[in-house]
Amino acid sequence: MEVTVGLIGLGNVGQGTLQILTENAKSITEKLGFPLTVKAVCSRTVESKKIACPSSVIRTVNWREVVAHPGIDIVVEAIGGTATARSIIEGALGQRKSVVTANKELMALRGAELWSLANANGVNIAMEASVAGGIPIHTVLREGIAGDKVVELYGILNGTSNFILTEIEKSKAAFDSVLAEAQQLGYAEADPSADVDGLDARSKLAILAALAFGEDLKPSDIYTEGIRRVMPVDFQYAHQLKHTIRLLCLARQTEDGLVLSVRPSLIPRDAILANVTGAYNAIWIRGLYGEDTFYYGRGAGSKPTGVAVVSDLMRVAREIRFGSPDRVSPFAHERLGAYKPLPIPTQKLPYYLRFRVEDKAGIIATLATILAKHNIGIDAVLQLPREDWRDLPFVVTTEPAREQAIRDALIEIRSADFLIEPPFAMPMQRGF
């Protein structure tokens, strides 16, 4: 009667998964009508781990043992990365075992391919935990609003960078010192690049956009810019404009194609997304029929991500016991070619342009001339009072303009002799 699980990887996610499967076993059994039993756990350091499960559970350092074990129905891949993880998943699918994975990087790169392999073997691959840990956004897209046609999707998908941004906003401290603090608190990795340079968010957006729009797209299709350049003064200016700043992930259908980007953006302060602070994630979806829906929760964490893994396990286990209703790749639907990823957004948006300059005469005149040449109207020039007149950060907001015009103008502006560093540009996003 039972369905059995082999768990590979006992880091954060693996441990959360094991804890929930163990502690919450009675509830899980009652919801399923049969038990979901852990048969094996695998970790390079399995000997030294405290594992709260019966002694009958196989403990091994060799993942091949789990993948090959004939008594295991579902393999959980919770080691991350793209090399060994891929071997584990392909190995398990080849053995006709279903797979549950938390691996955003691998699924963003090879999701469609791995799904095909699963299908060819008559099994499933589930990945709720790969995006926005605590938010069941895959289930929502795959089932909850399956009847709708998604038009736009906005997300805050990286908890670490959201934590850092909201700390800069609160404490007015600089990026470097807030990052150091986040690293001490364990919110940021020793190598923070994946988080603060937007790469983690990019993988997650690639997966969500593929599910939402059914297009064949890759992380490299997504324009990506991290948060390293956001300064405390940007929040002051943003507040003056009744906005705040978030690392916004965006996927939007336009007549020209699919706009995809991960970049620091101004968003209205009264938008629900602006209330997403600290290590939380959120996703705003606009459907053609269902209109706006919004989803919020923990972006990561051992137990919230564990809930995603366990919920996937329950669904896959049901399918194993009673038949498997997933036969069409969530990556492949609607591959109509109607919405190709756009290399650059064509929609017009207002922009926030921040300049750090030496105090010289004629700066505004020079900027205004260059912007005018590219048909970019100026909406406002903002300058906070400062005692120190060197290194003067000031801001120009523009009338709605195309990204291409902004980029062209900024290239021209970069050659001006009064700039201390290249200009910093953020779109001002609306509509949620």
Q: Minimum Å distance from CB 332 to a copy of itself? A: 8
Of 170 and 414, which has the nearer Cβ to a copy of itself? Answer: 170
307 binds a copy of itself (CB under 8 A): yes
Of 232 and 301, which has the nearer Cβ to a copy of itself? Answer: 301
The answer to whether 173 and 167 have CB atoms below 8 angstroms apart is yes
H-helix or E-strand containing 135? none
Cβ atoms < 10 Å from Cβ of 70: 6
Of 291 and 391, which has the nearer Cβ to a copy of itself? Answer: 291
In the range 128-157, which residues lie near a copy of itself by CB under 8 A?
128, 134-136, 138-140, 143-149
Q: Minimum Å distance from CB 94 to a copy of itself? A: 22
Q: What length does the chain have?
A: 432
In the range 209-238, which residues lie near a copy of itself by CB under 8 A?
214
Which of 13, 20, 14 has its CA nearest to residue 40?
Answer: 14
118 binds a copy of itself (CB under 8 A): no
269 binds a copy of itself (CB under 8 A): no
Which of 382, 410, 411 has its CA nearest to residue 396?
Answer: 382
Stretch touching a copy of itself by CB under 8 A, among 220-228, 332-340, 370-378, 385-393: 332-340
Q: Which of 322, 359, 404, 421 binds a copy of itself (CB under 8 A)?
A: 322
Of 146 and 411, which has the nearer Cβ to a copy of itself? Answer: 146
| CA–CA dist 71, 68 (Å, integer) | 9
Q: Minimum Å distance from CB 281 to a copy of itself? A: 10
The dihedral through the CA atoms of 97, 103, 38, 311 has a sign that is: negative
Task: Measure CA of the first residue to CA of the last residue in the chain; give whole Å.
Answer: 47
Q: Minimum Å distance from CB 162 to a copy of itself? A: 15
Angle value at C-alpha 216, between 212 and 219, nearest 5 degrees? 85
Of 332 and 416, which has the nearer Cβ to a copy of itself? Answer: 332
Active site residues: 204
326 binds a copy of itself (CB under 8 A): yes
Beta bridge partners of 36: 3
Q: Minimum Å distance from CB 239 to a copy of itself? A: 16
Of 107 and 279, which has the nearer Cβ to a copy of itself? Answer: 279
From the centroid of its chain, how far is CA 3? 31
Q: Which of 97, 263, 303, 374 binds a copy of itself (CB under 8 A)?
A: 303
Q: Minimum Å distance from CB 310 to a copy of itself? A: 3
Buried b (16+ CB within 10 A) or exposed e, 341-372: bbeebeeebbbbbbbbbeeeeebeebbeebbe
Site string for a copy of itself, 13-32 (x = CB under 8 A): ---x--xx---x-xxx-xxx
C-alpha distance from residue 425 to each of 161, 272, 398 (Å): 18, 23, 11
Residues 6+ apart with CB under 8 A from 125: 89, 93, 98, 99, 100, 101, 114, 115, 118
Mode of pairing for the β-strands spanning 150-156 and 243-254: antiparallel
377 binds a copy of itself (CB under 8 A): no
The token pair at 15 is: 């441990």
Q: Which of 116, 183, 324, 347 binds a copy of itself (CB under 8 A)?
A: 324
Of 239 and 373, which has the nearer Cβ to a copy of itself? Answer: 239
Q: Minimum Å distance from CB 432 to a copy of itself? A: 11
| CA–CA dist 124, 26 (Å, integer) | 25
The token pair at 79 is: 């080691």
The answer to whether 127 and 207 have CB atoms below 8 angstroms apart is yes
Site string for a copy of itself, 272-301 (x = CB under 8 A): x--x-----------xxxxxxxxxxxx--x
Q: Which of 52, 61, 185, 328 binds a copy of itself (CB under 8 A)?
A: 328
Residues 6+ apart with CB under 8 A from 67: 6, 8, 75, 88, 91, 92, 95, 97
Q: Minimum Å distance from CB 245 to a copy of itself? A: 19
| CA–CA dist 251, 154 (Å, integer) | 7
Residues that bind a copy of itself (CB under 8 A): 16, 19-20, 24, 26-28, 30-33, 128, 134-136, 138-140, 143-149, 214, 270, 272, 275, 287-298, 301, 303-304, 306-311, 313-315, 318-319, 321-328, 333-335
